[in-house]
């Protein structure tokens, strides 16, 4: 019995030493970042920006591999099945880890069990905008208008079950109003119709809306975040206009496959958090109306857990199901 216990203890020590040695030599070759969007997309550009800085820090190439399609499921599945050695990173997001689990009964990956969170990269809250000719100058007036014309005012989303769709369904339930739903195929595709007045209400990010709001083609009424954005502090939060608890951001963050050594996760976090704090990156993110990440793996795990629970609750309450 004693010999068996000593053998087990020796094996445990060997594993710990091997893990530490592996972490100290990491990285010894190129690192791959799986991005669930195509080249030139916002996630792709952010991954390349961080990847270039990470390559400088590690002295190894950081290769961006684009795996778009399938509601981001294709990339998530590939990342979940990758070796847990720190050489495959995944730029996961609010769809892969919050929306998909709430929409689909079966997924080829497990958002919690198959990944370890490293850090949040960015979180872009949705802003509620209306066509400039809609006779409302604030969010309360928009709701009053909707109550007088139930189902007549149309709002745009980027598809069934998309964050913008779920966000408006929450608003409708909380405020007791009705808007007609007009789904589009992609985020931003609704902008021309919104400006032209074919659609009354839309939801998008400040980076996309800024030029249209500044030229008075659209009116920004509220932001779906817990606090006002530094880039546009004049826009109130939904909580401030009477709808507390309703938040919606398109976030993205770095994950690695489960069982990746903790020392490697810690090193990745330290470097990526440092990169996100660099003035040329931090200020660019803030000016775009986006919140900057860099939180610890534990904080990011809790962030994802809370967001997933909130999205599941909202989708179930609204009765939204995948087609």
Question: What is residue 15's predicted lDDT score, i.e. its pLDDT?
Answer: 45
Going edge to edge, which strands form the sheet with 88-93?
Answer: 62-66, 31-35, 88-93, 249-257, 115-125, 291-292
pLDDT, average across residues 88-94: 97
User: Phi then psi for 89, rounded to 5 degrees?
Assistant: -105, 155
Q: For the chain, percent helix, then strand, then coil, each to nearest 5?
A: 45, 20, 35
Question: What is residue 23's predicted lDDT score, i.e. its pLDDT?
Answer: 60
Question: What is residue 17's predicted lDDT score, i.e. its pLDDT?
Answer: 44
* Residues 128 and 295 sit within 8 Å (Cβ to Cβ): no
Helix, strand, or coil (residue 278):
coil
Mode of pairing for the β-strands spanning 31-35 and 88-93: parallel
pLDDT, average across residues 154-158: 95
pLDDT, average across residues 152-160: 93
CA 64 to chain centre: 18
Crossing angle of the two packed helices 42-58 and 262-277, in degrees rounded to 10:
110
Question: What is residue 52's predicted lDDT score, i.e. its pLDDT?
Answer: 98
Give just the sign of the alpha carbon dihedral 168, 300, 245, 122.
negative
* DSSP letter, residue 48: H
User: CATH topology of 30-123+249-318 equal to that of 127-223?
Assistant: yes
* Residues 199 and 131 sit within 8 Å (Cβ to Cβ): yes
Mind listing the pLDDT tens digit for each residue in 225-275?
A: 999 999 999 999 999 999 999 999 999 999 999 999 999 999 999 999 999
Domain-by-domain residue ranges, the chain? 30-123+249-318, 127-223
Q: What does the alpha-carbon distance between residue 199 and residue 134 come to, in Å, rounded to a whole number?
A: 10
Helix (H), strand (E) at residue 188: none
CA 5 to chain centre: 47
* Residues 136 and 153 sit within 8 Å (Cβ to Cβ): no
Reply yes or no on whether the pLDDT at 21 is more than 60: no
Tell me: domain 127-223, CATH 3.40.50.2300, correct?
A: no
Mind listing the pLDDT tens digit for each residue in 127-147?
A: 999 999 999 999 999 999 999
pLDDT, average across residues 289-305: 97
Tell me: domain 30-123+249-318, CATH 3.40.190.150, correct?
A: yes
Reply yes or no on whether the pLDDT at 78 is more than 60: yes
Q: Which of 59, 118, 131 is nearest to 253 (CA)?
A: 118
């Amino acid at each position: 019995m004693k010999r068996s216990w000593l053998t087990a203890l020796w094996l445990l020590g060997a594993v710990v030493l091997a893990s530490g040695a592996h972490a100290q030599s990491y990285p010894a070759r190129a690192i791959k970042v799986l991005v669930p969007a195509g080249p030139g997309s916002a996630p792709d550009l952010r991954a390349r920006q961080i990847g270039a800085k990470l390559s400088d820090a590690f002295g190894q190439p950081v290769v961006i591999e684009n795996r778009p399609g399938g509601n981001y499921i294709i990339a998530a599945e590939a990342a979940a099945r990758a070796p847990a050695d720190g050489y495959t990173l995944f730029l996961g997001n609010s769809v892969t880890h919050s929306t998909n689990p709430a929409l689909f009964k079966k997924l080829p990956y497990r958002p919690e069990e198959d990944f370890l969170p490293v850090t949040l990269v960015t979180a872009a809250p949705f802003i509620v905008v209306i066509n400039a000719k809609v006779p409302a100058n604030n969010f309360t007036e928009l709701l009053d208008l909707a109550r007088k014309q139930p189902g007549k005012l149309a709002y745009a989303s980027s598809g069934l079950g998309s964050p913008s769709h779920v966000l408006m369904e929450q608003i409708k339930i909380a405020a007791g109003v009705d808007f007609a739903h007009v789904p589009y195929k992609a985020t931003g595709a609704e902008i021309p119709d919104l400006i032209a007045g074919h659609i009354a209400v839309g939801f998008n990010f400040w980076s996309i809306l800024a030029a249209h709001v500044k030229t008075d083609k659209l009116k920004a009424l509220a932001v779906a975040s817990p606090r006002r954005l530094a880039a546009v502090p004049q826009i109130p939060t939904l909580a401030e206009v009477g709808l507390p608890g309703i938040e919606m951001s398109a976030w993205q963050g770095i994950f690695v496959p489960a069982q990746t050594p903790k020392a490697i996760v810690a090193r990745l976090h330290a470097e990526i958090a440092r990169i996100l704090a660099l003035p040329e990156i931090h200020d660019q993110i803030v000016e775009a109306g986006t919140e900057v990440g860099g939180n610890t793996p534990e904080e990011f795990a809790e962030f994802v857990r809370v967001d997933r629970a909130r999205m599941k609750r909202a989708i179930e309450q609204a009765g939204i199901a995948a087609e």
